[in-house]
Amino acid sequence: MNAADCETWMRVELDAVEAALQSWLPAAAPAGLGEAMRYGVLDGGKRLRPLLVLAACEAAAGNRSAALRASVAVELIHAYSLIHDDMPCMDDDVLRRGKPTVHVKFGEAQAMLAGDAMQALAFEVLTPAAADPDSIPARLQARLCGLLARAAGHGGMAGGQAIDLASVGLPLNEAQLRDMHRRKTGALLEASVLMGAACGEMPGSAWDALSRYGAAIGLAFQVVDDILDVTQASEVLGKTAGKDLDLNKPTYVSVLGIEGARRQAQTLRERAQAALASSGLRHTARLSWLADLVVDRNC
């Protein structure tokens, strides 16, 4: 499968995810809340996490309807985390996805509520009623909810965010930095892969291989993010460049240097590809291509 085929697949899947988000995000939520929610999610972002869900589902020959719901749910969690991360009490940023951040556009209280509502909506999407024509088995609902909750909570993304805020101005070593980003960024990316895999059936050895793949690209994504933060302009990134340096946050560039960070990203790419090769699964070409996309991206 060549790159052109993968790019065509990506465009088709991105359209499907965007349509599902448009459908499930409630425009009519009270007091302008729906407008703030939709502003924070729609028409922007790489949608990497949904793509990982759908590619892993394909590798597992899984339930497409369940995977589409999982892709929306994980994107809602990711988008809510960005809304809260940008607020003055955290990173205090004014630009996200090339437009004013949610709290700048709608005010801090509405931004907080939009994030809260999106977090709840993610689990609502994963638990359709039995009468819903796109319903999924209760056992799979529970498994998907568990994977997402653990990735988003104190042991994953939220815990990593707490470490991040507590580490401003501190000289973290590489192991401490890796632990922070394994939680803050990596956990949700790994969960995206595993949620897609959970929509199908596979032996435990393949599940473990996909977990290793997800962990490697989850960390690689953050390493590349740290590199781009000091090498690209805000106009390219769609967010404020150099923000980590301004906030005196430890990054892979500050700990390893830019060339060391680049070597680390390549090592993680190789680790991800090796995990796929050991999985025994036949249809992993999309996942392999996405691993390269994570490392080779310029925004």
Per-residue pLDDT tens for 109-168?
999 999 999 999 999 999 998 888 788 999 999 999 999 999 999 999 999 999 999 998
pLDDT tens-digit map of 211-226: 999 999 999 999 999 9
pLDDT at 195: 98
Find the mean pLDDT for residues 37-43.
94
What pLDDT, on a 0 to 100 scale, did the predictor assign at position 163? Answer: 95
Query: pLDDT by residue (tens digit) across 153-207?
Result: 999 999 999 999 999 888 899 999 999 999 999 999 999 999 999 999 999 999 9
Please state the φ and ψ torsions of residue 87, each to the nearest 5 degrees: -70, 155
Handedness of CA 92, 115, 56, 144 (dihedral sign): positive
Q: What are the angstrom distances between the C-alpha of 227 and each of 204, 222, 296?
A: 35, 9, 11
Chain mean pLDDT for the chain: 94
| Residue-level pLDDT at 162 | 96
From the number of C-beta atoms within 10 Å of its C-beta (0-12, 13-18, 19+), residue 62 rates as buried
What pLDDT is attached to residue 249? 85
Please check the confidence at residue 246 and state whether its pLDDT lies above 80: no
Specify the 3-state DSSP secondary structure of 96.
strand
Report which of 171, 176, 148 is spatially closest to residue 160, judged by C-alpha positions.
Answer: 176
For residue 1, what are its two tokens? 């499968």
The two three-digit tokens of residue 209, written as one number: 């291989």
Q: Which H or E run contains 113?
A: helix 108-126
266 neighbors 244 (Cβ within 8 angstroms): no
Mean pLDDT over residues 100-115, rounded? 97
User: Is residue 245 over pLDDT 90?
Assistant: no
Q: What are the backbone angles phi and psi of residue 97, rounded to the nearest 5°?
A: 55, 35
* Token pair of 236 as six digits: 């390219």
The pLDDT score that the predictor gives to residue 18 is 96
H/E stretch holding 146 reads helix 138-152
Instruction: Name the CATH topology of 3-296.
Output: Farnesyl Diphosphate Synthase (1.10.600)
Instruction: Tell me the average pLDDT across 236-255.
Output: 81
Domain boundaries of the chain, sorted by first residue: 3-296
Closest CA to 80 of 157, 150, 193: 157
d(C-alpha 126, C-alpha 269), whole Å: 30
Q: Which helix (H) or strand (E) holds 47?
A: none
Average pLDDT of the residues in 281-287: 96
